[in-house]
Amino acid sequence: MTAFETALGLVFEPYTLSMMLLAGAFGLFVGAMPGLTATMATALLVPVTFFMPPVPAIAMLVTATAMAIFAGDLPGALVRIPGTPASAAYVEEAYRLTQKGQAELVLGCGLVFSVIGGIFGSLVLALSAPVLAEFALGFSSFEYFWLALFGLSCAVFISTGRPVKGVVSVLLGLALATVGIDPTAGYPRFTFGSVELTGGVSFIPAMIGMFAMAEVLRWVTSPRRIEDLAARQKLGNVFRGQWQLFTRYRLNVLRANLVGTAIGVLPGAGADIAAWVTYALSKRFSKEPEKFGTGHIEGMVDAGTANNSALAGAWVPALVFGIPGDSITAIVIGVLFIKGMNPGPTVMLHNPEFLYAIFIIFVLANVLMLPLGWLAIKIFRQILLIPREFLMPLILILCVVGSFAINNSVFGVGIMLALGVLGWLMEANGFPIAPAILGLVLGEMIESHFMTSMIKANGNLLAFFERPVSAVLGVVTLVVWGWILLAQLRSMRRSTRPPHDPALIR
């Protein structure tokens, strides 16, 4: 039996399929609830996946995230609140179309083009991952060091707000990763005598805290009102008019697929960045740019396609190099390690059936999105009626259980609480969260490759540029850092300009 046939057998088991259906429903629910993100859906599912074989566990995570990204369009279109950050780019457009009575077209567009984007991204993943994995087999510690640093640099580069805050966020993640036994000499660092800290800051409670708990704290401190346009909308056949949209905007769809997947592949950038970039590109190259922002479907076609294609794209660096493409794959990498399927270039040699299973799951999850998404659109109004005052305490309880379950220790709950508060304060002060998480995930990898390289080169930093691939990666990373520095200098110059500067009064 070939690896592909084994993978088919693993995916099409009734247990895996039923878990995918459950995860799909969960992902749709979380994505459709304003304020709850796809990353949060993944983080909350992790404790459940501990107790499963690898393939159903991964199937759950893939299905839940794909559904959550699509479902983020629902509250965006009907109540003007993006369900997930990946839908934020076109929420205004979607809402204005709904106000014009075109909710049916908007929601259908969100569903159909999410599926198209998701399937395209899955195909790119299936075709590129094995080729890249073979190429990466020749990598040494120098290349891995630069690649991981490049990923972190991209996370700072693309984060919104001031670059210095992105840098601080990365540094915080890396600093958290230094807690525990040092990977080279085996010396315990920053453990303050705690036995539990010698194992380091547990990754899953940190994630749950920084994404899920911080989200709850943000909701608790924000004004709570939901405008109910949803109740006034009539939703018939949401697939009507989608073929016409596809033929009219086929070039947009192709461009959005390519750009979305490429952004997903880039370490550190995910679905939300893909949506913003493709929306901007759509407007830039549109024949009717003046219609953007007034309730025009074109930008939504582009961004709705791109955010789902980026989702699969983000798995390419995660599987091939062990470097997460976005915050969701950062969590997934943790799960893969727990399941003993260490991601990296050798995954194709040691676990080919597992890799094929992931490709099949991606395509299947996107196909499943059509019936499940249709159902979600139909029952969405009921989902919105669930009082957030009950939901938020329940999410906190799930956060507690999830953090406890990783080591069956209440210490994990403490980590979740501390990092939840840190994540909440960071975001309130303009520090992006994703770079901190990437820093925490990649910290040990960067340090061990850096120290190995330093020992190999006897401290000669020029050795980091001696191998061709390493030199290219090194130069590209340094260019990104130069860019970040320039952006910071520009931002400081702007903030010191006198207030009567006409550039500030716009």
Partner 1 sequence: MRVHDAVLGILLLLLAGFMAHAAAGFPPMPGQRFGPALVPFLLAAGFALSGLVLLASGLLSGRSQPLVSLEGWGEPKSRLVDVALVLGGLVLLIVFWHTLGFLISATLYATLLAGRLRGGRYASALFVCAPLCFIVDWVFRRILLVPLPQGPLTGLYW
| Minimum CB–partner distance for residue 351 and partner 1 (Å) | 25
- Give the total of residues touching partner 1 (CB under 8 A): 56
The secondary structure element, H or E, covering residue 180 is strand 180-181
- Structural tokens at position 172: 């915080």
| Interaction between residue 43 and partner 1 (CB under 8 A) | no
> What is the Cα–Cα distance from 222 to 322, expressed in whole angstroms?
37
Kindly give the interhelix angle for 410-428 and 163-177, rounded to the nearest 10 degrees: 170
DSSP one-letter code for 137: T
Q: What angle do CA 398, 23, 256 make, to 5 degrees?
A: 115
- Structural tokens at position 318: 């995660």
> What is the Cα–Cα distance from 388 to 407, expressed in whole angstroms?
30
User: Which position among 413, 419, 436, 440 is part of the footprint of partner 1 (CB under 8 A)?
Assistant: 413
Q: Which stretch binds partner 1 (CB under 8 A): 19-27, 44-52, 287-295, 306-314?
A: 44-52
* Percent helix / strand / coil, the chain, rounded to 5: 75, 0, 25
Q: Which stretch binds partner 1 (CB under 8 A): 11-19, 130-138, 161-169, 304-312?
A: 161-169
For residue 391, the tally of other CB atoms under 10 A from its CB is 16
Binding mask 189-218 for partner 1 (x = CB under 8 A): xx-------------------------xx-
| Interaction between residue 486 and partner 1 (CB under 8 A) | no
| Interaction between residue 382 and partner 1 (CB under 8 A) | no
Q: Which is nearer to partner 1, 185 or 462 (CB)?
A: 185
Footprint (CB under 8 A) of partner 1, residues 228-287: none
| Interaction between residue 500 and partner 1 (CB under 8 A) | no
Binding mask 428-467 for partner 1 (x = CB under 8 A): xx-----------------x--xx--xx--xx--------
Q: What angle do CA 51, 178, 340 make, to 5 degrees?
A: 25
User: Which position among 1, 14, 221, 236 is part of the footprint of partner 1 (CB under 8 A)?
Assistant: 221
User: Which position among 349, 479, 492, 504 is part of the footprint of partner 1 (CB under 8 A)?
Assistant: 492
Contact 275, 86 (CB under 8 A): yes
3-state secondary structure of 222: coil
User: Which position among 17, 417, 463, 476 is part of the footprint of partner 1 (CB under 8 A)?
Assistant: 417
Buried b (16+ CB within 10 A) or exposed e, 259-290: bbbbbbbbbbbbbbbbbbbbbebbbeebeeee
| Interaction between residue 488 and partner 1 (CB under 8 A) | yes
- Beta pairing partners, 231: none
| Minimum CB–partner distance for residue 309 and partner 1 (Å) | 33
Give the residues lining the site for partner 1 (CB under 8 A).
47-48, 50-51, 164, 167-168, 171, 174-175, 178, 182, 184-185, 187, 189-190, 216-217, 220-223, 387, 389-390, 392-394, 396-398, 400-401, 404-405, 408, 410, 413-414, 417, 421, 425, 428-429, 447, 450-451, 454-455, 458-459, 488, 492, 495-496
